């Protein structure tokens, strides 16, 4: 296995050749199992993430979609233990298995000094708002230099050269190294964030809504840049967004979250054309497509639930057009969708299949006649 720091100043695609060494798909490099996070307030525990199982494989792009408050950011930051009080991880395990840690590392057991080794070097983050995430009194060059010096043993000159070549990577002129964040445009700042995230050639890059704060044109730019960089350096991406449409193009797999739980995981193809969970269907119906026939935008009525007092059974029931009283007894565990082309396609709804039509308005909720065949879905 090559180590990338030895030739520190080159950012090569040397990792691509070693992709096979990790199987490129058998052992996940980030294995999150039964992960739960609460926010402990004096009015009760807010269950932000509840029993989530998610696996990320080397080189793959996994999209994490959901509304605000669905727990996607909490899940991502929590797995790096970057949540602030009153957050508390109440259960589960997060195992990181990168090339430098082939036997796996349990993140939840680590002490702060040990975590610093994992952070950024192995798992880095591109934050949502670059203006807020950059230190206003340090130049952007210095901030990237901080990261390089913290994780790599390079001489001062080599480190500076590395920072410069990183800026080249993201098409920022080298002389901007001495600029302060407030002197750069929004798009440039975001590209600095990306450069910084890739500085130590991590295995995983978590992207937390990296383009939400930018205008559409710049968004396209940044996304294209991300795709290009990923091809070159081959890292895995956990892409968090509330905009499902972005993921359909970008991601290999998509995981949809609602009220702290995963409700569906599938390849982006399947999610796009054959979504299984009612919430996913609702999300897809919430934005128009550029091509194709015009249709009525449905959206999803209602508001997200109070995470302190979740209703029994399925959390989505109050807003679900397919819902029946039977939904109050299920436990939202993920089960395989038999009819799917993707063998790993799972959903939390035992009643609804990809093709199931929406019942006409007004016939939902308590006691309404079921047009559904629970038996059609084969459990695990």
Partner 1 sequence: MRFIVRRLAFYAVAAWVALTINFFIPRLMPGNAVEDIMSKFPSLQPSAYKALEAMLGVGHPGSLWHQYVNYLYDVIHFNFGTDVTEYPAKVSALLAQTVPWTITLVGTATIIAFVIGTGLGILAGWRSGGWLDRVLPGLTFLQAVPYFFLALILIELLALRAKIFPLGQGYAGGDIPGWNWQFISSAVYHSLLPAFTLIITNVAGWMLTMRNVMITTTGEDYVLAAQAKGLPHKRVVLGYAARNAILPQLSGFANALGFVVSGAIVMEIVFSYPGVGLLLVNAVTSNDYPLMQAIFLVITFAVLFANLIVDVVYVLIDPRARARSA
Partner 2 sequence: MAALMVDTGVTPPAEREREKRERFGWWRRLPPKAKVGALLLGFFVLIAIIGPTLAPYDPSYQNPNPSLSLNAPSAAHLLGTTQNGQDVLSQLLTGVRMTLELALFVGVVATVIAVIVGISAGFLGGMWDEVLSLLSNVFLVLPALPLLVVLLGYLPQKGETATILVLAFLGWPWGARVIRAQTLALRNRDFVAASRETGERGWHIIMFEIMPNEISLIAASFVGVVLYAIGASVALAFIGLADLNTWSLGTMLYWAQSDQALTLGAWWWFVPPGLLVALIGTGLVLLNFGIDELGNPRLRSGSGTIKVGGRWWGQTDPTPVLGHSQRRPSRVAAFLHSFSREALTERPTEVAGPLP
∠272-277-282 over CA atoms, to 5°? Answer: 70
CB 198 within 8 A of CB 147: no
Question: In terms of CB distance, is 10 or 106 closer to partner 2?
Answer: 106
DSSP letter at 110 equals -
The residue within the footprint of partner 2, chosen from 17, 25, 44, 106 (CB under 8 A), is: 106
Indicate whether 116 belongs to the interface with partner 1 (CB under 8 A).
Answer: yes
Fill in the per-residue mask, 58 to 97: x = in contact with partner 1 (CB under 8 A), - = not in contact. ----------------------x-x-x-------------
Nearest-approach distance from CB 94 to partner 1, in angstroms: 15
- CA–CA distances in Å: residue 105 to residues 96, 202, 238: 5, 15, 19
From partner 2, partner 1, none, interface partner of 133 (C-beta below 5 to 8 A by class): partner 1
From partner 2, partner 1, none, interface partner of 328 (C-beta below 5 to 8 A by class): none
Question: In terms of CB distance, is 83 or 226 closer to partner 2?
Answer: 83
Question: In terms of CB distance, is 146 or 252 closer to partner 1?
Answer: 146
Question: In terms of CB distance, is 104 or 186 closer to partner 2?
Answer: 104
CB 259 within 8 A of CB 305: yes
CB 52 within 8 A of CB 75: yes
Indicate whether 368 belongs to the interface with partner 1 (CB under 8 A).
Answer: no
The tokens for 290 are 């550029």
Question: In terms of CB distance, is 112 or 343 closer to partner 2?
Answer: 112
CB 61 within 8 A of CB 230: yes
Query: Among 3-11, 13-21, 245-253, 331-339, which window interacts with partner 2 (CB under 8 A)?
Result: 3-11
The tokens for 60 are 């793959």
Indicate whether 178 belongs to the interface with partner 2 (CB under 8 A).
Answer: no
Where does the chain show beta strands of DSSP type E? 30-41, 44-56, 61-65, 87-96, 105-106, 123-126, 204-208, 236-241, 253-258, 261-267, 335-336, 346-347
Fill in the per-residue mask, 189 to 218: x = in contact with partner 1 (CB under 8 A), - = not in contact. -------x----------------------
Preceding amide of 151 cis, omega within 30: no
Distance, CA of 258 to CA of 142 (rounded, Å): 39
Give the closest residue to 374 by CA, choosing from 358, 350, 345: 350
Q: How many residues bind partner 1 (CB under 8 A)?
A: 31
Chain center to CA of 226: 14
Indicate whether 121 belongs to the interface with partner 1 (CB under 8 A).
Answer: yes
The tokens for 264 are 């569906």
Indicate whether 24 belongs to the interface with partner 2 (CB under 8 A).
Answer: no
Fill in the per-residue mask, 56 to 95: x = in contact with partner 2 (CB under 8 A), - = not in contact. ----------------------x--xxxxxxxxxxx----
DSSP letter at 340 equals -
Strand-pair category, 87-96 with 105-106: antiparallel
Indicate whether 117 belongs to the interface with partner 2 (CB under 8 A).
Answer: yes
Indicate whether 109 belongs to the interface with partner 2 (CB under 8 A).
Answer: yes
∠110-106-20 over CA atoms, to 5°? Answer: 130
Stretch 124-163 residues interacting with partner 1 (CB under 8 A)? 124-125, 127, 129, 132-139, 146-147, 150-151
Nearest-approach distance from CB 181 to partner 1, in angstroms: 9
Query: Among 107-115, 163-171, 232-240, 306-314, which window interacts with partner 2 (CB under 8 A)?
Result: 107-115
Binding site residues, partner 2, CB under 8 A: 3, 5-6, 37, 40, 78, 81-91, 100-101, 103-106, 108-112, 114-115, 117-118, 121, 151-153
């Amino acid at each position: 296995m090559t180590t990338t720091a030895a030739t520190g100043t080159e950012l090569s695609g040397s990792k691509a050749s070693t992709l096979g060494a990790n199987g490129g798909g058998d052992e996940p490099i980030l294995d999150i199992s039964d992960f739960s996070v609460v926010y402990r307030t004096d009015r009760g525990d807010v269950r932000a993430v509840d029993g989530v199982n998610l696996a990320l494989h080397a080189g793959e792009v996994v999209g994490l979609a959901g509304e605000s408050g669905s727990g996607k950011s909490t899940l991502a930051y929590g797995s790096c233990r970057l949540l602030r009080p009153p957050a508390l991880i109440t259960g589960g395990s997060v195992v990181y298995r990168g090339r430098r840690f082939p036997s796996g590392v349990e993140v939840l057991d680590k002490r702060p000094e040990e975590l610093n080794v994992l952070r950024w070097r192995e798992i880095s983050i591109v934050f949502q708002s670059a203006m807020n995430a950059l230190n206003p009194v340090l130049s952007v060059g210095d901030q990237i230099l901080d990261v390089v010096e913290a994780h790599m043993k390079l001489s001062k000159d080599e480190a500076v050269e590395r920072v410069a070549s990183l800026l080249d990577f993201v098409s920022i002129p080298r002389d901007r190294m001495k600029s302060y964040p407030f002197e750069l445009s929004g798009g440039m700042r975001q590209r600095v964030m990306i450069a910084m995230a890739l500085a130590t050639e991590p295995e995983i890059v978590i992207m937390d809504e990296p383009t939400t704060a930018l205008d559409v044109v710049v968004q396209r730019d940044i996304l294209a840049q991300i795709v290009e960089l990923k091809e070159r350096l081959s890292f895995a991406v956990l892409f968090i967004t509330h905009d499902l449409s972005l993921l359909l193009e970008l991601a290999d797999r998509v995981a949809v979250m609602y009220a702290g739980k995963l409700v569906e995981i599938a390849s982006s193809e399947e999610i796009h054309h054959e979504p299984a969970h009612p919430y996913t269907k609702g999300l897809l119906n919430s934005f128009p497509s550029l091509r194709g026939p015009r249709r009525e935008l449905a959206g999803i009525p209602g508001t997200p639930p109070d995470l302190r007092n979740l209703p029994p059974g399925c959390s989505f029931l109050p807003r679900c057009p397919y819902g029946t009283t039977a939904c109050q007894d299920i436990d939202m565990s993920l089960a395989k969708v038999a009819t799917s082309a993707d063998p790993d396609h799972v959903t939390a709804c035992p009643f609804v299949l990809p093709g199931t039509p929406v019942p006409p308005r007004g016939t939902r909720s308590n006691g309404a006649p079921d047009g559904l065949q629970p038996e059609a879905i084969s459990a695990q």
